[in-house]
A = this chain, B = another copy of it.
Amino acid sequence: MRNLLMRVSYDGTNYNGFQTQPDGNTVQDVIEQAIYGLTGESLKITASGRTDAGVHARGQIFNFCSVAMIPPERWCSALNSRLPSDIVVTDAQEVSLDFHSRREAKRKTYRYTINANQFPDPFHLRYQFHHYGRLNVSAMEEGLKHLLGTHDYTSFASRRSTKPSHVRTIYDAWMEVDTSMSRDHPRDQGVVHTYITGSGFLQHMVRIIMGTLIEVGEGKRTPESVRTALIAQNRAAAGPTAVSHGLMLWDVELDAASYIIRT
């Protein structure tokens, strides 16, 4: 029996989110079917957490225990040949039997992408929220900084959240502007990527943060109002939930050097 830790990238467009659910067609289902096709094992994989319908991942992790005698370095290619092209396993290694992806995911980074050029980009339609009109990006950056630290993020969580505590830590958050798809046009502001690294994220948390920051960028709110919203601990104090397709689980960092048996 081996406990295998893998990293996976997926385009979430065609799936009902990561985690298995009654309607089916989830990323988890498809990966478990690929494992079944490879080893004949009907098993459940454990991920660092769920992602919502339409959300993408560049660096999701998951683990599962298998009795198959496949060396870890062969797993990626063996699974990828059975997976659709919108799901790609990029790393596989053996870890100790007590390793658990959700418990060991110490820091997660999400990226949210806003296309602030005048027109949509036909090459990134699935991965960008296209924003019409001017955005004050430096005001958005100022608002974002108010969310750093350890706080109760109730204002930035779905009202349906059932978590016992809404206290999380945001370690780092920054914005990058990519002008490679822009033209020499005053209404082309570039593609704005927002990266947020935290201990964990509540349901819709990044999307509500982004919906609030977009209001800051539009001048509908001040950067300071982000702090006010945070202190309120009330969902109504924050902005709307930004669309899912701009969101990508960018990276999951493990505090798990001691768990790795071999790479």
Chain A residues with a Cβ under 8 A of chain B: 7, 9-11, 56, 58-59, 76, 80, 85-91, 118-123, 125-127, 181, 183, 185
Give the residue name and chain of the B residue nearest to A7 (CB): B183
Q: Which one, B85, B121, B122, contacts A120 given CB within 8 A? A: B85
Residues of B close to A126: CB separation below 8 A: 123
The distance in angstroms between the C-alpha atoms of A56 and B123, with both chains bound, is 9
Residues of B close to A181: CB separation below 8 A: 58
Q: Within the complex, what minimum Cβ distance (angstroms) separates A186 from chain B? A: 11
Q: Please state if B91 and A183 are interface contacts (CB–CB under 8 Å).
A: yes
Q: Within the complex, what minimum Cβ distance (angstroms) separates A121 from chain B? A: 7
Q: Please state if A123 and B11 are interface contacts (CB–CB under 8 Å).
A: yes
The distance in angstroms between the C-alpha atoms of A245 and B120, with both chains bound, is 20
Q: Please state if B123 and A185 are interface contacts (CB–CB under 8 Å).
A: no
The listed residue with most B CB atoms (<10 A of its CB), out of A11, A80, A89, A123, is: A123
Q: Please state if B56 and A88 are interface contacts (CB–CB under 8 Å).
A: no
Q: Please state if A90 and B118 are interface contacts (CB–CB under 8 Å).
A: yes
Q: Please state if B9 and A121 are interface contacts (CB–CB under 8 Å).
A: yes
Q: Within the complex, what minimum Cβ distance (angstroms) separates A28 from chain B? A: 16
Q: Please state if B183 and A119 are interface contacts (CB–CB under 8 Å).
A: no
Residues of B close to A125: CB separation below 8 A: 85-86
Residues of B close to A85: CB separation below 8 A: 120, 122, 125
Q: Within the complex, what minimum Cβ distance (angstroms) separates A77 from chain B? A: 9
Q: Which one, B80, B119, B121, contacts A76 given CB within 8 A? A: B119
- The 3 nearest A-B residue pairs measured at CB: A11-B122, A86-B122, A90-B119
